[in-house]
Each structure stands twice: as structure tokens, then as C-alpha cells.
Amino acid sequence: MGKMWVIATNTFREALRKKTLYILLVVALVAIGTSRFFSFLAAQDELKMIKDVSFATIEFFGAILAIFTAMGGVSGEIEKKTIYTLLAKPITRKNFIIGKFLGQSMVILLNAILISLFFIGLLISKKAVPDMEIYKSLLLIYIELLMIGAISLAVATFATDAFNIILSFFLFITGNLSVYFKQVIERTENIIFKGLGYMLYNIIPNYENFNIRDQVVVGVNVSWQYVGQTILYGVMYIVIAVLVGIYFFQKREV
Amino acid sequence: MKNKNWVNLFIAVLLYIPVGFLQVHIDYRRKLEDLEARLMLMPGQVAGSLVLSGFRGVAADLLWLNIEELWHQGHTYKLLPMFESVAWLQPRYITVWAVGGWHMAYNIYASTQDQKEKKYWYEQGAAFLKKGIAYNPEQYDLYFELGWTYYNKGEDFANAVKYLEKAVKFPCPDYVKSLLAHAYENNDQVDKAVEQWTRVLNTGFESVAKRALKVIREEGAFTPTRRRRLGMGMED
């Protein structure tokens, strides 16, 4: 655990040294800040817009950060050849991958906390104290970002950066459209295609599970049971991605 | 070492089984809690969904801003597909149903002189509100909006009573309860009107309820017959 923690804290420090985090943070805060321009709308509509824009910003910029941090974590170490020093020490490849994942999770958490604080501050300034549903939605977005990061980390262990970016964004889009995909499967009559479709539906990360914000912004309550099940789904998917990452990194010639 | 590495992949593949079962549970709960996004299989909508991905809320907001702009420019009819689009993207957004229904039943209704056309837009407004109720049956808001449209615009008191009775079953402001009492009177249901006014006595509309009960006792309720006798229309 100690070795993993060393890798994790180094990954975190390395990310803080890079400008990516700060640029994304500033752009995200500006994006959320612009939602204040909707003050010409009725108070209720303005609040809805602030929430919609903020949730979308936290998710979108968080996803970019997760993908780039995960990608840089592996390929950066290989390019700078620092990985040779690391692996020469008594650090196993398994420790390296898990440590990298923990480190990038801290970066994603820091980013999510800072943007969320700004968002909550904005709501309070509008005299709308955020309720528990807002926090549930933020929690699910964070788990989703961890999942995106874990998948990107797994891909980084065997593919190039360009492929990783394309695949991660492709999964981000398809994962958010899973409802549509499911509807297509349900209407398919061919039993083989139906079976293959359901298999694919379960393999592709279902990011739509984490999307409760469309309901939360209009005042719909979401049960803790749903939130709990979705967190469990996210955690299991993260474990799968990390295990796949370990498998391919063990096989990789460095 | 090589054999051990296979274990990682084996566990990962094995974990897909509980993930699959969990997904079934999550799908069930999404349906149960009405969290599913409503996507219809129309080409334009599919393309739109692809572009929007998980950002339907922001898309709905941008369309709402368009509604605001078109509204101020006086483009009465151009607003209609916008209302439909926002409602499609976020069917739980009550405001879009309420404003859309009101726009058809009041604004477009007033913009035409043709009685047939007036009737058409009044019915379209009511139909839009009913569609909104189908998506939001657990809140008073749209039952009230529809009840008010029947009461005020259509003077269809039987339907007004029907929907206001549904509205008061949910937590709602006092004026909804008071409107139901008025609707009972206008629908010739005097006993029910007295009962409802008595209930309203415990609300912020106490003085209105006291006055209404006094008038009913001393002069009679404002039933359609009495209104006609007094030569009073709805605006009185």
C-alpha cells in the first residue's frame, strides 16, 4: 500500500505542476459564471439554467481532465523514461497502475470539489440553498469521472495516445446514449442480433446511469437505493478497468 | 508470473456477470423512478441526441432562450415547435407545459377572430397540458393549470372541478383550494362548495371563505342560474 501511495501522491503532484488542470479549471469556472447572464429570465428558470450549465460543465471538463491525466500518467512516464527508474525499484507493475489510478482520482476529486464549491456558492448567492439531490447528482458525476479515468488508464497501457483519446470520447458519447441503444435492441426481432445487442449494452460503460441531473434540476427526487446501486456499478466497472490495465501493463514491453 | 497475470483478466471478465445483473436492477429503478430519458426513434431526434450526448438539459435551456426571444419578437406560431422540443428533452420541466398550454389557450386564442380557430387553440392548449400531466402526474401544478384553463377560458366547470379535485390531492397553495370552491359553485354543486369553503377557512384565504359562506347562506351560491339572473359573466 505504501508503494502505491508514493506513486499516487507523485501522480497528484505531477498533475498539479502541469497547466492542464488550471486551464480546465479556469475555463470551467468561466462557463459556470456565464450562467449568471440569464438573470433576465424568471428566477426559477434562471436557477434551472445555472444548475444545467454547471452540471454539464463539471461533467464535460472533468471528463477531459480524467482522460488526459490517465493518458499522461502512463505514456508520459514512458516518454520521459522515468518508468525505468520506477520499475527498477521494488515497485510492481500492479502497484504502478493502482497507484496511478489513486493519484488521478485525487486530481479529479480536487477539480470536482473546486468547481462544485463555485457552483454551490453561485446557488447560495441566488438565495437557493442546494438540497440533498444536488449533492447526489455531484456524487454520481464524480464516480462517473473516476470510471472514465479508469477506462482511459486501462487503454493507455496498450494503445497510443491518439487511439486513447478517440476511444475514450467515443465511449463517453455511446455510454451517454445507452438508452437509445437499448430501445433499438428491444425493437430488434432477430434473436441473434438481440442477444449480441444486449451483450454489447452490458459491456459498454453505461454513463447514462449516472445522469440524474436532468431530473434533479426540475425538482425530481432520486432514491438513495438508486444512487447506491449506481455507485456500486461504477466501482465494479473501475475494478474491471484497473484489472484489464494491470493485465496489459504486465504484458507490455517497457 | 505469466499464469498469474491471466487471473487479472479472468476476474475482470467474471466481474461482468454481476455488472450485468446490476444493470438490470438499475434499468428497473430508472423506469420506476421515472429517470429514463425519453428518446423517440425519429431521424432528427436521434441525430440531435448523438450531438447532445448527455447534455440534454443545456440543449433545453438554449431552446428556452429561443422561446424568450421569439416571444418578445411576437412570433406566436414559431414558438410551438420550440415548446414541443423542450418538453421532449425535459418532460419533467413543468414550466414548459404550463407556459406552452397557456400560450395556445390564451395568446393564440386571442390573436384570431375566427371562432372555429379559437376553439381549436383552446383545445390544443388543454391537450398540451394533459400531455404534461401524463409525464408529471404526482404534482398539483398542471392539474391546476388545466383546471384554471377550463374554468376561466372555457367556462367548462365540470372539467374544471375534475382537474382541480385532482390538484388539491397534492400539496398545493391555498388559492388552488379556493378556486375549487368557486368551481363547485359554478358547477351547481352547492353542498360541495360549502364543504370546500369550510376547508378553506383554515387557510390564508379565511376572509374570502367567510365572505363566500355568508353570501351562500344569505343570498345563494354563484351557480350559473343565479349568475344569469343577476346578468353576470365570468369577468364579474
A contact test, residue of B4, B21, B22 with most A CBs within 10 A: B22
Q: How far is A30 from chain B (nearest CA, A)?
A: 16
Distance CA A248, CA A145 (A): 22
Domain encompassing residue B236: 173-236
Q: Out of A56, A177, A182, whose CB is closest to B49?
A: A177
Q: Which A-chain residues 167-196 have CB contacts (< 8 A) with chain B?
A: 172-173, 176-177, 179-180, 182-184, 187
Mean pLDDT of chain A: 88
Whether A43 and chain B come into contact, CB under 8 Å, resolves to no
Q: Quick check: is B68 in a domain?
A: no
Domain encompassing residue A120: 2-251
Cα B65 to chain centroid, rounded: 20
What is the reported pLDDT for B39? 53
Give pLDDT tens digits for A55-105: 988 999 999 999 999 988 888 888 777 777 777 777 888 899 999 999 999
Whether B20 and chain A come into contact, CB under 8 Å, resolves to yes
Whether residue A34 is predicted with pLDDT greater than 70 in this model: the reply is yes
CA angle B12–B18–B19, rounded 5-degree value:
75
- Average of pLDDT values for B89-103? 92
- In order, the DSSP letters of chain A are -HHHHHHHHHHHHHHHHSSHHHHHHHHHHHHHHHGGGGGGS-HHHHHHHHHHHHHHHHHHHHHHHHHHHHHHHHHHHHHTTHHHHHHHSS--HHHHHHHHHHHHHHHHHHHHHHHHHHHHHHHHHTT----HHHHHHHHHHHHHHHHHHHHHHHHHTTS-HHHHHHHHHHHHHHHHTHHHHHHHHHH---HHHHHHHHHHHHHS--GGGG--HHHHTTT----HHHHHHHHHHHHHHHHHHHHHHHHHHHHS--
Mean pLDDT of chain B: 86
Query: How many beta-carbon contacts under 8 Å exist across A and B?
Result: 131
What is the reported pLDDT for B150? 96
Return the percentage of chain A with pLDDT > 90, whole number: 46
A44 chain-B contacts, CB cut-off 8 A? 95
Structural domain tally of chain A? Answer: 1
More confidently predicted of A188 and A101: A101
Give pLDDT tens digits for B47-60: 455 455 667 788 88
Q: Quick check: is B128 in a domain?
A: no
At A80, give phi and psi (nearest 5°): -80, -5
Give pLDDT tens digits for B159-213: 999 999 999 999 999 999 999 999 999 998 989 999 999 999 988 899 999 998 9
Q: Out of B22, B33, B56, whose CB is closest to A222?
A: B33
Q: Quick check: is B132 in a domain?
A: no
Say yes or no for a CB contact (<8 Å) between B54 and A233.
no
Say yes or no for a CB contact (<8 Å) between A226 and B29.
yes
How many CB atoms lie under 10 A from the CB of residue B38?
A: 16
Whether residue B41 is predicted with pLDDT greater than 50 in this model: the reply is no
Q: How far is B23 from chain A (nearest CA, A)?
A: 7
Nearest residue in chain B measured CA to CA from A169: B53
Q: Quick check: is B177 in a domain?
A: yes
What is the reported pLDDT for A247? 94
Structural domain tally of chain B? Answer: 2
